[in-house]
Structure 1
């Protein structure tokens, strides 16, 4: 079942349950209210009749006829009873035996009377003293409960009709409101189908608001990242095949030349040296590719611990010093004490080494490492005074097998980015104040 119909059905069911509870409650309350109102009316009519009885002589046939006309006009069932003598003074009810049964069953001295019964019929009762504090004569007025139940049924039918119309209007409104809610989701589903088929260029924005708009933005971001990832993977395989194919062809050429006697003596020895160098290069490429794969997929390869940034930079400088001396480059570092990070020490040292050695190879005379801390982040900067990095190369610099001038495997900076991002940080490249490249590693705290 479609979501729109599910929401409409759920809303309609909930509304029907609420309306049913309300209807049952109102149905029971209506009868109680009608009974209370009828008792008040009986009491008002009883007071009028009592005043008439007190002021007029009922032995006069004209007065009695006037009273009976009043009772008939207002459809009142009345009898007067003397509890002292147990006599029925007068009655508009012809069934005297029923009156005697009531008198014998119910206590007329109680102010609040229950519903009197007569067979299957029930009556609302009001008892009015005729001569309060002078005699035990009382006027009893009765109304059949069936009359009130008819009013109750009429009122309830009208109320039920209003409820049905209200539910109908609510269902129609619910249908259009849920349709407005579900339509963006349906369109979003089609955009996800396009992403599934890798039709990234056909993914479009949809008109939505609130949480659906946030989901739509997440889908667009996901599509962009997937497209970028697929393109980088495609480029990775192309570059990887090229990087692996070149040394293999070199090794194959020298191996076949030595086998066939093309290379002899010194040329053969030189060929063996080239083969060993190319094999070492292949091993380095493969090891770095394996490390990248593990950083992307394995959880156990990364073991976090609390390290001091000052010691991290000191170790990096010490390991990079031989290469710096060989390149005649001076390494300077400025690191305040007391800055700590929760990262994998060995992996982060490797990331730093990849960046620093890259800076040393491209520097003219100086590499500067700086660490700073703010309220929100810890930043490590590596700057050199070399030629810098071209604007076209910067966006792809951290991709796999993307090499700048003088690069080796094209995997070092990709490994550094993977380690930094795995550590919860970010890395970027730009131009330094020294004139060369500036690598910035940022960690939020």
Structure 2
């Protein structure tokens, strides 16, 4: 069943339950109210009659003479003698009077509903003054009359409920349709994403949580599109990076096999082959490492690291290349800075950034570690030519190389390590004139 029908069915069921309970409560209350109102009216009539009796007739014999007057009132009533527990006078026949007297306790003043046959009667009792007479005027009204009023009221109430329910169901259909329509449109957009038709994905109009879901789906679509494009670029670059050394190796191997090189060229060819094999090995090792960093979180073993000791290790391992290029490397590490990360992996990431800076530097490289706004920031910068503006958005992608780059995987590995360690890495322009890489770990 569609969501819209489910919502309409749930709302209609809830509405019916509420209306049923409300109708039952009103049905019960209205009868009680009618009984109370009828008793009030009977009491008013009875008090008027008692006042007339008290004014004109003072003795029991006088009251007997007033029977014609009571008979003319078209009321169902008894004059009850409490002293003798007997009906002194009634406007009803003697048979009916005897039936009432047998079926009900006239002495019980708390009983407001009497029975006769299959019918019930509402009663009201008024004492005839003076009380010494021991007489009470008891007036009755059949419950059937009240039930007719009750049923008429409930029928009209049912008509009102019916009209209100119809209006509520129509409003429910309108609102659920307004709610479900964006979901149906989202389903269509998800189908496009499933078929990889990213360029055809459209934004939809929605509000509230559905708008947030729509925004997330749109962002997911863009991210998937970027990811698939990056994967295509990755495979293209990977095939190119692997094919070039393989072609070189194949060329020299076939030349040596076919004896087309002299002894000197053959020895040179073997050296080139060894160099290309080492290059292939380095590329493959870095690809394997990058795959592990992306897919195996358990390869990380985070622990507390002293930032000063970590930078000293970076300086020690890059010193041979620094001396070879005759450049100056400076470090500035604030005191008492501790990181929580995998020391070996983070060292690898910083070495990749530092080696990259050394290769592009003209005369100096700077490493700075400091705290700012509850974050530890590590910067590696150089005074080289910097990074081209069109290359900056893709610099951390795999096999993206700048000038003098090697495998094109070093910065991708650095980013994977930093992000897996809970940090972020950015690139920008250095105050020294070259590139500046910034690694941020939030405390």
* Bin for the TM-score computed over the shorter chain: over 0.9
Shift of 1:362: 0.3
Moved more, 234-243 or 104-113: 104-113
Counterpart for residue 22 of structure 2: 22
Return the match for 1:121 from 115, 119, 122. 119
Shift of 1:102: 3.7
Counterpart for residue 88 of structure 2: 89
Return the match for 1:198 from 190, 196, 207. 196
Give yes or no for contact 1:108–1:127 (8 Å, CA) kept in 2.
no
Moved more, 111-120 or 272-281: 111-120
Give yes or no for contact 1:309–1:335 (8 Å, CA) kept in 2.
yes
The residue matched to 1:246 in structure 2 has which SS?
Answer: helix
Give yes or no for contact 2:394–2:400 (8 Å, CA) kept in 1.
yes
Give yes or no for contact 1:78–1:91 (8 Å, CA) kept in 2.
yes
Give yes or no for contact 2:104–2:115 (8 Å, CA) kept in 1.
no
Return the match for 1:254 from 252, 255, 258. 252
Aligned residues: 440
Give yes or no for contact 1:363–1:385 (8 Å, CA) kept in 2.
yes
Counterpart for residue 44 of structure 1: 44
Shift of 1:368: 0.8
Counterpart for residue 157 of structure 1: 155
Q: Please give the alpha-carbon distance, in whole angstroms, between the structure 1 residues aligned to 2:36 and 2:63.
A: 35
Q: Please give the alpha-carbon distance, in whole angstroms, between the structure 1 residues aligned to 2:130 and 2:108.
A: 14
Write out per-residue CA displacement over residues 12-54 of structure 1, whole angstroms, 9 at most, x where no aligned residue. Answer: 2112211211111111111112112222122111111211222
TM-score of the superposed pair, with normalisation by structure 1? 0.94
Counterpart for residue 395 of structure 1: 393
Alignment of 1:32-431 (within 5 A): 32-57=32-57, 63-70=66-73, 72=74, 76-94=75-93, 96-104=94-102, 106-131=104-129, 133-431=131-429
Moved more, 434-443 or 176-185: 176-185
Shift of 1:104: 4.7
Shift of 1:101: 4.5
Shift of 1:408: 0.5
Distance change in 2, residues 1:26/1:421 (3 Å):
same
Counterpart for residue 31 of structure 2: 31
RMSD: 1.9
Q: Which structure 2 residue ranges, 5 or more long, are not aligned?
A: none
Q: Please give the alpha-carbon distance, in whole angstroms, between the structure 2 residues aligned to 1:377 and 1:181.
A: 44
Write out per-residue CA displacement over residues 37-94 of structure 1, whole angstroms, 9 at most, x where no aligned residue. Answer: 2221221111112112222348699954443232x2xxx3111111223442221222
The residue matched to 1:275 in structure 2 has which SS?
Answer: helix
Distance change in 2, residues 1:309/1:98 (3 Å):
farther
Counterpart for residue 5 of structure 2: 5
Shift of 1:378: 2.2
Moved more, 28-37 or 373-382: 373-382
Q: Which structure 1 residue ranges, 5 or more long, are not aligned?
A: none
Q: Please give the alpha-carbon distance, in whole angstroms, between the structure 2 residues aligned to 1:97 and 1:19.
A: 45
Q: Please give the alpha-carbon distance, in whole angstroms, between the structure 1 residues aligned to 2:232 and 2:4.
A: 41
Distance change in 2, residues 1:294/1:132 (3 Å):
farther
Q: Please give the alpha-carbon distance, in whole angstroms, between the structure 1 residues aligned to 2:257 and 2:47.
A: 135
The residue matched to 2:243 in structure 1 has which SS?
Answer: helix
Q: Please give the alpha-carbon distance, in whole angstroms, between the structure 1 residues aligned to 2:207 and 2:84.
A: 84
The residue matched to 1:333 in structure 2 has which SS?
Answer: strand
Distance change in 2, residues 1:33/1:221 (3 Å):
same
Moved more, 206-215 or 264-273: 264-273
Q: Please give the alpha-carbon distance, in whole angstroms, between the structure 2 residues aligned to 1:444 and 1:7.
A: 45
Shift of 1:402: 0.6
Q: Please give the alpha-carbon distance, in whole angstroms, between the structure 1 residues aligned to 2:349 and 2:137.
A: 106
